[in-house]
Structure 1
Amino acid sequence: MEQQGIKLAYLLTVVNASIIGLSFLFTKMALEYANPIDTLAFRFALSFAVMTIPVLLGRVRLHYRGKPLYKALLLAVTYPLGFFTFQTFGLQHATSSEGGILYAFTPVLTMLLAFIFLKEATTVRQRLSIFLSVFGVLFIFVMKGSSIDWTNVTGMFLLFLSCLAFAGYNVLARSLLRTFSPAEITYMMLGIGFVTFFAVSLASHAAAGTLDLLVAPLASGPFLVSIVYLGVLSSLVTALTANYALSKMEASKMSVFSNLSTIVSIAVGAMFLGEDITLYHLIGSALIIVGVTGANLSLGRKKIKQGSLHSDRIKA
């Protein structure tokens, strides 16, 4: 049973990366009709509403009594609040390519934080594999002609903080999942994201006298499709899959899978946007896959057992 849980965790991390890779396309679509904060407000409102349905029906049972809720609140501060806030404002001062380059370093930050706070040890092979996956992402961006403008201190700093926030989430969630179930962590994350982003959006529109602009995007079909994808799949499903995986495997191993989203983005660009796939795309993708595989090769049954925290208990 334990090995089945580990296998499921690996499968879900691939699903997670695939959904995130597609999310960039739907985020672009949504931002054509609404500003970033409004988009986040609708995104988390839908994700929280969808998960509330099985909670109210008793299909998903939550048990928060006697558990360290303040730590769960701190988790929500790192993700989604910290990550999306720093990312949104960072991209106002920097390019999406610069954001992609810095985001590739998230597994490295996760590995460092996991070593400091969780005492997660990594082998030389695992460290080299993680760096190889990062290099694969950087190779693709550099060959595309992307670079970092180091004179743009504000944008770079905010994007770095967004990566640090996501790395912090990986590490803190790994720790909290000894006490909370993946469903409990996910529901609290989505609820806090919904309340915070919707309150900020509503307050800003009320102050500017533009409340009509808040609901105007809902008349657009493409916007609704985008919000359904971002809210249900890219927020709810990714949170559940990530939290389940983190309950079964080390944070450093889980985080490196995020670089697979770059490969999915390339495939989506080719299929739906008519973008060309070049030799450097293939080389970079191969480096990412080899790096992810090398960082997660099984080291034996003992190591597997140490990597598992507990089974996902959604039903009582």
Structure 2
Amino acid sequence: MKKWQTYLVLVFIMMMWGFNVPALKTLVTEFSPVTITSLRIFTAGVTVFIILAIMKKIRKPTRRESFFIIGGGLLNVVSHHYFLSVGLTQTTSTNGGLILGTGPLLTALLASVILRNRPTVIKVIGFLLGGIGVSIIVLSGGEGLGNLNSGDAMVFISIFSQALSFIIISRAAKTLDPRLLTGYMLVFGSVILFIIGLITEPGEISQLDEASIGIWVLFLASAMLATALGHMLYNHSIGKLGAAETSIFLNLNTFFSLVGAALFLGEKITSYHLLGLVFIILGVICGAGTLEELITKRKRQRFYSKKQHNHHF
């Protein structure tokens, strides 16, 4: 797959994840957050294994790969989803959105420290532009920046866990197919989350039979499309592009969740949101390395045309 095709796939994933936000809001108001999250992720994990079985891609992981699965599952599934679902109930959506917007920058910093993957000046500018775009969108919500509290700390732990898991995924992708890694991580993480749900939300599982068919259709769409297909493709992209370059696309998530809220929950899109989108797109172009590739291509073309010109004379 060519780089631009991977970029298109990532934009499609961000649209799915963005539209998934209003769906998740609906699900966590209908059910207890931790219990329903564990069931949604388990359904996603089973879906991934069904897809991989059709593709004949399932194999037993090695002992070393099992450590990556456990580490990735605990960080990407258990810690990220638990602290996010609990943290968002204790803070404003403005604070939560801004903290989540630091994800790409955190991933780039961790990649440069752990993987010795130093980002270029243009990429750093891209991460900062993306952060500005996310800030414009989130702060234009009118809630204002509330005082930092324990909920904000939980959201930060959630996004830090996810950023750290991307480093593990990029390491594991060298020997284990990232899509298979995704399946193992989702199933393992969901079982741990379900146990946490049984302890923190006792008796809440009895709520499940009270939900309407429409809610269950929403649940399956969220689990099978956004979580299963989305994570499979995203982790596959990490294997192709690297953790930092892939994470810059997460900034688009904020904009698409806004579009989803406008389409499904009747919320308004303002000129501030569109301004934020411009910064996010500029951030993606710089942060994903697209601008650098164009500059290198131009320099190469100029060099060859100059060489041919001199050779002509």
Match of 2:248 among 248, 251, 256: 256
1: CA distance between counterparts of 2:35 and 2:63? 35
How far residue 99 of structure 1 moved from its aligned partner, in angstroms, is 1.1
Which blocks of at least 5 consecutive residues in structure 1 are unaligned? 305-316
| Aligned residue in 2 for 1:134 | 131
Aligned residues of 1:45 and 1:198 also touching (Cα < 8 A): no
Q: Does 1:216 align with 2:209?
A: yes
Partner secondary structure for residue 32 of structure 1: helix
Amino acid at match of 1:76: G
Correspondence list, 1:78-157, <5 A = 78-152=75-149, 154-157=150-153
Larger Rg: 2
Aligned residues of 2:52 and 2:180 also touching (Cα < 8 A): no
TM-score between both structures, scaled by the size of structure 1: 0.86
Aligned residues of 2:48 and 2:229 also touching (Cα < 8 A): no
Aligned residues of 2:57 and 2:180 also touching (Cα < 8 A): no
1: CA distance between counterparts of 2:176 and 2:22? 33
Match of 2:231 among 236, 239, 243: 239
Which blocks of at least 5 consecutive residues in structure 2 are unaligned? 298-313
Aligned residues of 2:285 and 2:291 also touching (Cα < 8 A): no
Aligned residues of 2:46 and 2:183 also touching (Cα < 8 A): no
2: CA distance between counterparts of 1:21 and 1:7? 21
- Identical residues among aligned pairs (%): 24
Aligned residues of 2:178 and 2:235 also touching (Cα < 8 A): yes
Amino acid at match of 2:16: I
2: CA distance between counterparts of 1:44 and 1:279? 35
Q: How large is the RMSD of aligned CA atoms in angstroms?
A: 2.3
| Aligned residue in 1 for 2:173 | 177
CA deviation map 1:97-130 (0-9, x unaligned): 2211110011111111000011112111110111
How far residue 300 of structure 1 moved from its aligned partner, in angstroms, is 4.5
Q: Does 1:9 align with 2:45?
A: no
Partner secondary structure for residue 68 of structure 1: helix
1: CA distance between counterparts of 2:232 and 2:51? 14
TM-score between both structures, scaled by the size of structure 2: 0.86
How far residue 200 of structure 1 moved from its aligned partner, in angstroms, is 3.0
Partner secondary structure for residue 195 of structure 2: helix
Match of 2:278 among 286, 292, 306: 286
How far residue 43 of structure 1 moved from its aligned partner, in angstroms, is 0.2
How far residue 195 of structure 1 moved from its aligned partner, in angstroms, is 1.2
How far residue 55 of structure 1 moved from its aligned partner, in angstroms, is 4.9
Match of 1:48 among 45, 48, 53: 45
Q: Does 1:168 align with 2:164?
A: yes
How far residue 209 of structure 1 moved from its aligned partner, in angstroms, is 4.7
Q: Which one is further off, 127-136 or 67-76?
A: 67-76
Aligned residues of 2:106 and 2:160 also touching (Cα < 8 A): yes
With over 3 angstroms needed to count, the CA separation of the structure-2 counterparts of 1:93 and 1:211, relative to structure 1, is closer
